[in-house]
């Protein structure tokens, strides 16, 4: 199976290089790894301090682990922090992150790259976030007896650990020194494949992160002018199917104002939203004397802070195979959240449905009916909003539990 894995890595690299001239993400992926050894050596300089290496696939996983990074930074400032990303969508946004000493792309997972990277950085502790596993890196770390932790892992029966190549993917899990899972179900599933000794239920560090973000001060004059005490739906990480459903909602509830923070803010997607909502205005072009019912957020990094302005929240991705995006960012502000039908990979969405502070729909008519009822019934809305906020607050503490373990185990 390792041979097949190496072949996959080889063809992945060839494929992304072939795509680079035609795809901006692929182009950034390739360019960011060019001359990586020289660039890393320049960044490290003559560093003599111990390094803690934290790896995340992309921006979402980074934000999930951010509270742990900053807790380590605060309590153990003598360590240098190295953050790596696999995806350009994470690296490009956080390449100047003040909480790390070094932020780089992770070189593609070959035995040679893994050996060279680890010899150059000499990490004293390595933390992987949620699910992205790379065999050669994990194997090399184990061979050098470097403590390697997986945090906020969620284990599902549909994952590769239980599929055709289960043995290989299970072997990667066994390379971790310790695994922190989000819930008991994940721990029990790992036990069925004989991974139980070094597994703890710590919860999901995303709860800590969204609560932290919610407490940060934020104001935006244009957004506040647009909302102006109106009923407002804020849609985060939306895709075309989400936007078409929201257009139907607005056609049935014409007084409702909508703020859309799309998943992608490239020109083609922004143009698509403008074609669906004829009176839509970009935030960057918003004028106080301009009547508008739909405002498009055309910059990155605002979404997690603007849900505070919502009457009702909507999270996109529910019509994609990968499922919905982060519902917790809105729930932290005490907002009932709506989404499309595909949410099975989101444990928190399932729980919010059970509690009554989340709503999933298949047909746009269902969505419009739910939103109309909620807008008309302030007391019902207030109850659901409180349930959302209580849900987040009752799940805080994963970061502290992990920190206590790392300190008690002398990994920090």
Shared domain check, 83 and 229: no
pTM score of the predicted model: 0.90
Block mean pLDDT (10 aa), the chain, length 412 = 92 95 93 96 93 95 95 96 95 94 97 98 97 94 98 91 90 96 95 94 96 94 94 96 97 96 92 93 90 92 94 96 93 97 92 97 97 96 97 97 96 91
Shared domain check, 190 and 95: yes
Shared domain check, 336 and 282: yes
Residue 231 token pair: 């009923």
Decide if 2 is inside a domain: no
Decide if 214 is inside a domain: no
Shared domain check, 278 and 181: no
Decide if 133 is inside a domain: yes
**What CATH number should be reported for the domain holding residue 281?**
3.40.50.2000
Q: CA-based Rg of the chain, rounded to a whole angstrom? A: 22
Decide if 111 is inside a domain: yes
pLDDT number for residue 388: 98
pLDDT number for residue 347: 87
Shared domain check, 54 and 113: yes
Task: Give the chain's domain count.
Answer: 2
Give dist(CA 36, CA 371) in Å, integer. Answer: 50
pLDDT number for residue 33: 96
**What CATH number should be reported for the domain holding residue 148?**
3.40.50.11720
Among 212, 215, 216, 218, smallest CA distance to 70 is for 212
pLDDT number for residue 289: 85
Among 272, 227, 283, smallest CA distance to 247 is for 272
Structural domain harbouring 65: 14-203+397-408
pLDDT number for residue 45: 92
Shared domain check, 162 and 44: yes
Element (H, E) at 129: strand 123-129
Longest alpha-carbon distance in the chain: 65
Shared domain check, 296 and 184: no
Shared domain check, 402 and 389: no
Shared domain check, 139 and 227: no
Shared domain check, 124 and 235: no
Decide if 6 is inside a domain: no
Helix, strand or coil, per DSSP, at residue 297: coil
Decide if 4 is inside a domain: no
Contact 247, 325 (CB under 8 A): no
Decide if 7 is inside a domain: no
Shared domain check, 184 and 48: yes
Residue 244 token pair: 């078409």
Give dist(CA 163, CA 388) in Å, integer. Answer: 35
Decide if 304 is inside a domain: yes
Shared domain check, 259 and 170: no
pLDDT number for residue 1: 87
């Amino acid at each position: 199976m390792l041979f097949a894995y190496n072949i996959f890595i080889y063809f992945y690299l060839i494929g992304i290089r072939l795509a680079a001239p035609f795809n901006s993400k692929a182009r950034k992926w390739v360019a960011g790894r060019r001359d990586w050894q020289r660039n890393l050596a320049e960044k490290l300089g003559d560093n003599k301090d111990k390094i803690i290496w934290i790896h995340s696939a992309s921006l979402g996983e980074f934000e999930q682990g951010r509270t742990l990074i900053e807790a380590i930074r605060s309590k153990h400032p003598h360590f240098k922090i190295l953050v790596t990303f696999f995806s350009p969508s994470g690296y490009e946004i956080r390449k100047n992150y003040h909480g790390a000493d070094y932020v780089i792309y992770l070189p593609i997972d070959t035995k040679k790259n893994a050996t060279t990277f680890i010899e150059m950085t000499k990490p004293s502790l390595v933390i992987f976030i949620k699910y992205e596993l790379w065999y050669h890196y994990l194997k090399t770390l184990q061979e050098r007896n470097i403590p390697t932790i997986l945090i906020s892992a969620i284990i599902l029966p549909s994952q590769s650990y239980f599929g055709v190549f289960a043995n290989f993917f299970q072997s990667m899990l066994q390379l971790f020194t310790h695994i922190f899972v989000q819930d008991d179900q994940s721990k029990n599933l790992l036990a069925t494949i004989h991974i139980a000794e070094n597994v703890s239920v710590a919860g999901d560090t995303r709860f800590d992160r969204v609560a932290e973000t919610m407490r940060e001060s934020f104001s935006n004059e244009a957004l506040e002018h647009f909302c102006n005490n109106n009923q407002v739906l804020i849609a985060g990480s939306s895709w075309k199917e989400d936007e078409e459903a929201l257009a139907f909602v607005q056609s049935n509830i014409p007084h409702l104002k909508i703020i859309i923070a799309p998943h992608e803010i490239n020109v083609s997607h922004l143009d698509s939203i403008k074609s669906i909502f004829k009176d839509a205005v970009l935030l960057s072009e918003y004028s106080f004397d301009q009547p508008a019912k739909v405002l498009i957020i055309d910059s990155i990094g605002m979404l997690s802070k603007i849900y505070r302005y919502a009457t009702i929240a909507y999270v996109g991705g529910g019509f994609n195979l990968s499922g919905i995006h982060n519902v917790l960012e809105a729930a932290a502000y005490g907002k009932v959240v709506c989404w499309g039908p595909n949410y099975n990979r989101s444990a928190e969405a399932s729980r919010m449905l059970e509690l009554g502070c989340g709503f999933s729909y298949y047909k746009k008519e269902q969505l419009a009916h739910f939103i109309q009822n909620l807008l008309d019934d302030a007391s019902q809305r207030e109850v659901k909003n409180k349930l959302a906020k209580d849900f987040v607050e009752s799940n805080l503490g994963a970061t502290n539990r992990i920190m206590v373990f790392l300190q008690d185990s002398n990994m920090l």
